[in-house]
C-alpha cells in the first residue's frame, strides 16, 4: 500500500513540474517594459519600474539600456536587491529574461556579474596563472555574498590606481627573488587596455530599430566588454592570491620535490587578501602590504641582499680560476698550483694582492689566513690545509651561488613566521645544532646526521622529554638487515654488546618491517644512544641523542647515522633545556637508572636543510649539498631561467675576462722560479 502511495505522489509531482515549466515558458516570452511615470511615483519599490505585458517581440540589449536611462533607479540605493541567477546562462544577454532578475543594474554591470558567476568556477581565466582550489572557493563565496559586486571596478570603471599597484607588485617581484612571469603581467595589461573602452554616448540616442542594432552589433560589443571586465576582475584577484602565497609560503609545496621534507608552510589567508584588496585604497598601500608578505626575518633579508649583489655583479660571471687536482697543499709547500690558489682566493674575496706584490708560489702566512677564512665561511674544518674537499669547494663555479641563494630563499619562505622565543635549530647541511633565544645564538654543537641511504628528514616539532641512561630499542629493519646474521653466527653477540631480548627469537615470520620479538640495548657507556636522548614524538622515529662514537665529530662531513641526529656534548644541551646544574646531571648519569624527565615548557625544534646562510657576524656561508636536494628545488622554481636572464643582462662569461686571467697566469709564471 505504501509503495503504491509513493508512486502516486511521484506521478503528481511530475504533473505539477510540467505545469510549472509551461507557465515559466509563457512568462519568459513576456516583454518587460518600464512604466516611467509609475517608477517616478514609486521609487521606494524598484520592482515597480517594470511591468510585464504580452508581446511577441523580445527586447534587445540597446532597448533595455534606453529604457533604463529613462527610468533608472540607482543600484546604490538598493544594494541588497538580489542579483543571483539560479544557474549560469549560455548567452549573457538573456539575463534580462530571467524571472528572478530585478531591473536595477546597468546592463554592462549585469552582464559582467553574470560572466563573473560563470568564470569564477574555472581554475583560472589566464592560462598559467593558477590558484589553489581553496582560494577559488573563498573567492566564489565572497562574490556570492556580495552579489558578484566587483573589487576592482566602480560604476563599470576600473580603479586604475589599484590595478596598477598589482602590476607594480608583479613587475617588482624579482626584487624579492620571485619571477614576474608567474603572475602574467602582460596578459593583465592587455585586459586593462580593453577595459578602457566605454559605452559611447551616441549609442544611447539610437532609435528603437532592430535593423540599426544589427548594423551596430551593439549586443556583441557589450557582451565582449562585460566578458573582458569579468576576466580582468578575476585575473587581478588571482594574481594577488598567487603573489601572496608565493611570497609568504614559497612557490612550491616542499614535499612535491623532496619526499623527506615534511614541512607544511602556512600562506597568507585568502580572507586577509580579499579584505585588504577592498580596504587599502590609499596610494601604495596595497603594494606595500603585498610585498610585506615576504619573510621579514634577518636571515631572509640577508640572503636577499646577497642575491641582489651577486645578480648584478659582472665579476660574478668571470670564469673562475680552477685549481687542478694534486697533492694536499700545506703551509711551507712550494707549487705552481699555489699561484692559482691565491688567484682563486682573491676572486672570492679572501686574499688581496697589492700592486707591488706578486702572486706567491709558496704557501705563506697570507695564503694560510685566506684559506682558513674561506674554510670557516664554508663550514669546513679551518686548518689552513687545502685537501680534496677544500679544492672541490674552491672550484665551485660562482654562478651556482645564485642558484644556492635562490633555493635557500625559497626554503626560508617555508619556515614559520614565529619560531618561538627559545628554540633548537638543526641545519643538516651544516652538520650543526644551535639554541636560539630571543634571536641570539646561546649554544652551538656539531651533529652527525643520517647517511645518504638513511637521510634525516626535514620537519618541525617540540622537544617534550629528556631521557637519561636511555635504552636503545632497535628498529626492525636494523634487526633484520644488520643483526640477523651476527646473532645466528655468534651466540654470544647479544650479551657481549649489552643487548637483551623481549620474547623468544624466531626468524620464521620475520621481515624487515616486522620482527616477532624485540631487542634493546641496556643503558651504559657503550649504548648506541650514549647517556642522554631528547624526544619529540614523530612518525619518523627521529630524535637527538648522545653517542659513544665521539671521533666522528672531528670530521668535516658527518653523515653516518641511520637517520637520528647525534649531538656533540649533549649534556650541555640537557643542562640548557632542563635548567639543571652539571652536578645534578652527573648524579643521574652515575645512578645508571633509565630516567625520563618532562620539559615544563616544550621547546620547538626545527630540522632544516640550508645550503646558504648568514652567520651571526653577517658573513655569507655556503654548505655542501650533502643529500643532493638543491637541484630538485632549483628546477621547480625556475632557477635556470632566472640565471639565463641574469647572464644575458650582465653579459656573462666573456672571452675578454678569460684572456685576462690566462695573461695574468702566464705573467706570474715568468716572475716565479717554479
Give 464-517 pLDDT, tens digit per residue: 999 999 999 998 889 999 999 999 899 899 999 999 999 888 888 888 889 999
Percent of the chain with pLDDT over 70: 74
Contact assessment for residue 173 and residue 239, using Cβ atoms and an 8 Å cutoff: no
pLDDT digits (tens, 9 = 90+) for 439-472: 999 999 999 999 999 999 999 999 999 999 999 9
Q: Does 668 or 612 have the greater pLDDT score?
A: 612
pLDDT at position 360 over 60:
yes
Per-residue pLDDT tens digits for 636-650: 999 988 888 887 776
Residue 15 has pLDDT above 80, yes or no: no
Number of other residues whose CB lies within 10 A of the CB of residue 537: 10
Average pLDDT (295-314) is: 89
| Average pLDDT over all residues of the chain | 80
What pLDDT shows up at residue 671? 55
C-alpha cell at 282: 590609499
The arithmetic mean of pLDDT across residues 356-380, rounded, is 84
* pLDDT given at position 43: 39
331-338: long-range contacts (C-beta < 8 A, 24 or more apart)?
331/363, 331/365, 331/368, 331/384, 331/385, 332/362, 332/363, 333/362, 333/363, 334/361, 334/362, 334/363, 335/361, 335/363, 336/361, 336/669, 336/672, 336/674, 338/362, 338/363, 338/367
pTM: 0.72
Residue 493 vs residues 148, 483, 497, 499, 521: alpha-carbon distances, Å: 75, 9, 6, 8, 12
Residue 179 has pLDDT above 80, yes or no: yes
What percent of the chain is predicted at pLDDT more than 90? 50
Which ranges in 491-547 belong to alpha helices (H)? 493-496
**Predicted local distance difference test score (pLDDT) of residue 35:** 36
Q: What is the pLDDT of residue 7?
A: 65
pLDDT at 357: 65
Catalytic residue ranges? 545, 564
pLDDT score of 291 more than 70 = yes
In 179-294, at which residue ranges do the beta strands (DSSP E only) sit? none
Instruction: Give residue 144's pLDDT.
Output: 82
Long-range contacts of residues 347-354, Cβ cutoff 8 Å, at least 24 apart: 347/315, 347/318, 347/320, 347/321, 347/398, 348/374, 348/394, 350/374, 350/377
CA distance 288 to 285: 5
Question: DSSP class of residue 182?
Answer: G
213-255 pLDDT, tens digit each: 445 555 677 778 888 999 999 999 999 999 999 999 999 999 9
419/52 Cα distance (integer angstroms): 65
pLDDT (0 to 100) of residue 553: 96
Reduced to 3 states (helix: H, G, I; strand: E, B; else coil), residue 437 is strand
Residue 377 has pLDDT above 80, yes or no: yes
**Mean pLDDT, rounded, for 270-290:** 95
- Residue 250 CA to residue 411 CA, distance in Å, equals 7
pLDDT for 38 equals 40
CA distances from 360 to 16, 348, 367 (A): 102, 17, 9
pLDDT at residue 298 in the model: 93
CB 513 within 8 A of CB 499: no
- Compare 435 and 140 and report the one with higher pLDDT: 435
Maximum average pLDDT range among 51-60, 169-178, 489-498? 169-178
Query: Which residues are registered as beta bridge partners of 472?
Result: 521
404-415: pLDDT as tens digits: 999 999 999 999
pLDDT at 13: 61
Rounded to an integer, the average pLDDT of 602-615 is 96
Extract long-range pairs of 73-77: CB within 8 Å, 24+ residues apart: 73/39, 73/43, 73/46, 73/49, 73/104, 75/104, 75/105, 75/106, 75/109, 77/43
At residue 321, the pLDDT reads: 86
pLDDT at 30: 41
Cite the DSSP H helix spans in 90-217.
107-119, 133-145, 160-171, 185-195, 210-216
- Per-residue confidence (pLDDT) for residue 101, from 0 to 100: 36
Are the beta carbons of 63 and 31 closer than 8 angstroms?
no
Q: What is the pLDDT of residue 106?
A: 63
pLDDT of residue 105: 54
Task: Using DSSP, state whether 184 is helix, strand or coil.
Answer: coil
pLDDT value of position 310: 87
Q: What is the pLDDT of residues 67-121, one digit of tens each?
A: 443 333 233 232 333 334 444 444 443 333 322 333 345 667 777 888 888 888 8
Q: Which three cell numbers stand for residue 384?
A: 689552513
Please say if the pLDDT value at position 396 is more than 80: no
Structure confidence at residue 10 as a pLDDT band (50, 70, 90): low
pLDDT at 387 over 50: yes
Query: Mind listing the domains of the chain with CATH numbers?
Result: 2-291 (no CATH), 314-400+632-671 (1.10.101.10), 423-470+530-629 (2.40.440.10), 472-522 (no CATH)
Instruction: Give pLDDT, residue 51.
Output: 36
Is the pLDDT assigned to residue 203 strictly greater than 80? no
pLDDT at 46: 35
Interval 172-181 mean pLDDT: 95
Amino acid at each position: 500500500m505504501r509503495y503504491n502511495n509513493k508512486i502516486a505522489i511521484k506521478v503528481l509531482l511530475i504533473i505539477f513540474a510540467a505545469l510549472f515549466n509551461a507557465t515559466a515558458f509563457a512568462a519568459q516570452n513576456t516583454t518587460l517594459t518600464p512604466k516611467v511615470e509609475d517608477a517616478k511615483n514609486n521609487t521606494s519599490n524598484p520592482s515597480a519600474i517594470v511591468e510585464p505585458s504580452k508581446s511577441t517581440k523580445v527586447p534587445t540589449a540597446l532597448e533595455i539600456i534606453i529604457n533604463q536611462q529613462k527610468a533608472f533607479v540607482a543600484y546604490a540605493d538598493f544594494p541588497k536587491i538580489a542579483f543571483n541567477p539560479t544557474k549560469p546562462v549560455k548567452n549573457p544577454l538573456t539575463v534580462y529574461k530571467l524571472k528572478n532578475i530585478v531591473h536595477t543594474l546597468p546592463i554592462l554591470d549585469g552582464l559582467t556579474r553574470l560572466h563573473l558567476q560563470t568564470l569564477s568556477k574555472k581554475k583560472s581565466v589566464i592560462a598559467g596563472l593558477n590558484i589553489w582550489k581553496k582560494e577559488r572557493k573563498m573567492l566564489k563565496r565572497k562574490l556570492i555574498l556580495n552579489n558578484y559586486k566587483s573589487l576592482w571596478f566602480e560604476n563599470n570603471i576600473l580603479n586604475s590606481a589599484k590595478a596598477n599597484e598589482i602590476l607594480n607588485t608583479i613587475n617588482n617581484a624579482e626584487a624579492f627573488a620571485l619571477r614576474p612571469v608567474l603572475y602574467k603581467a602582460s596578459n593583465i595589461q592587455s585586459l586593462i587596455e580593453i577595459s578602457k573602452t566605454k559605452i559611447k554616448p551616441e549609442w544611447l540616442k539610437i532609435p528603437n530599430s532592430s535593423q540599426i542594432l544589427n548594423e551596430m552589433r551593439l549586443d556583441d560589443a557589450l557582451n565582449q566588454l562585460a566578458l573582458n571586465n569579468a576576466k580582468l576582475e578575476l585575473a587581478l584577484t588571482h594574481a594577488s592570491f598567487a603573489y601572496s602565497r608565493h611570497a609568504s609560503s614559497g612557490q612550491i609545496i616542499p614535499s612535491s620535490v623532496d619526499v623527506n621534507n615534511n614541512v607544511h608552510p602556512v600562506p597568507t589567508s585568502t580572507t586577509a587578501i580579499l579584505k585588504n584588496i577592498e580596504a587599502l585604497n590609499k596610494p601604495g598601500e596595497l603594494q606595500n602590504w603585498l610585498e610585506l608578505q615576504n619573510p621579514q626575518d634577518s636571515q631572509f633579508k640577508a640572503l636577499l641582499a646577497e642575491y641582489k649583489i651577486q645578480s648584478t655583479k659582472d665579476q660574478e660571471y668571470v670564469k673562475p680560476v680552477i685549481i687542478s687536482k694534486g697533492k694536499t697543499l700545506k703551509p711551507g709547500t712550494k707549487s705552481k698550483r699555489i699561484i692559482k690558489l691565491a688567484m682563486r682566493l682573491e676572486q672570492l674575496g679572501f686574499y688581496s694582492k697589492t700592486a707591488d706584490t706578486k702572486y706567491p708560489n709558496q704557501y705563506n702566512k697570507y695564503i694560510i689566513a685566506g684559506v682558513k677564512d674561506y674554510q670557516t665561511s664554508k663550514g669546513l674544518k679551518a686548518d689552513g690545509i687545502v685537501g680534496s674537499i677544500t679544492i672541490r669547494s674552491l672550484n665551485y663555479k660562482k654562478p651556482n651561488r645564485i642558484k644556492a641563494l635562490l633555493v635557500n630563499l625559497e626554503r626560508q619562505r617555508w619556515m614559520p613566521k614565529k619560531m618561538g622565543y627559545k628554540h633548537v635549530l638543526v641545519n643538516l647541511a651544516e652538520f650543526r645544532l644551535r639554541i636560539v633565544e630571543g634571536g641570539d645564538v646561546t649554544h652551538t654543537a656539531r651533529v652527525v646526521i643520517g647517511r645518504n641511504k638513511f637521510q634525516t628528514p626535514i620537519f618541525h616539532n617540540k622537544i617534550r622529554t629528556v631521557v637519561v641512561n636511555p635504552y636503545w630499542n632497535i628498529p626492525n629493519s636494523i634487526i633484520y638487515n644488520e643483526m640477523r646474521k651476527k646473532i645466528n653466527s655468534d651466540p654470544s653477540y647479544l650479551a657481549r654488546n649489552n643487548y637483551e631480548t623481549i620474547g623468544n627469537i624466531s626468524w620464521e615470520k620475520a621481515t624487515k618491517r616486522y620482527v616477532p620479538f624485540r631487542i634493546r640495548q641496556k643503558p651504559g657507556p657503550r649504548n648506541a644512544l650514549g647517556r642522554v636522548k631528547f624526544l619529540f614524538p614523530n612518525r619518523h622515529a627521529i630524535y637527538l641523542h648522545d653517542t659513544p662514537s665521539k671521533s666522528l665529530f672531528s670530521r668535516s662531513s658527518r653523515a653516518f647515522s641511520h637517520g637520528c641526529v647525534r649531538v656533540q656534548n649533549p649534556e650541555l644541551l640537557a643542562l640548557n633545556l632542563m635548567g639543571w646544574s652539571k652536578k645534578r646531571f652527573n648524579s643521574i648519569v652515575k645512578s645508571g637508572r633509565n630516567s625520563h624527565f618532562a620539559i615544563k615548557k616544550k621547546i620547538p625544534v626545527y630540522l632544516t636543510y640550508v645550503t646558504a646562510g648568514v652567520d651571526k657576524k653577517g658573513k655569507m656561508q655556503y654548505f655542501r649539498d650533502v643529500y643532493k636536494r638543491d637541484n630538485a628545488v632549483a628546477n621547480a622554481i625556475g632557477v635556470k631561467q632566472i640565471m639565463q636572464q641574469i647572464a644575458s643582462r650582465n653579459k656573462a662569461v666573456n672571452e675578454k675576462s678569460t684572456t685576462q686571467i690566462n695573461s695574468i697566469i702566464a705573467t706570474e709564471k715568468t716572475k716565479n722560479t717554479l
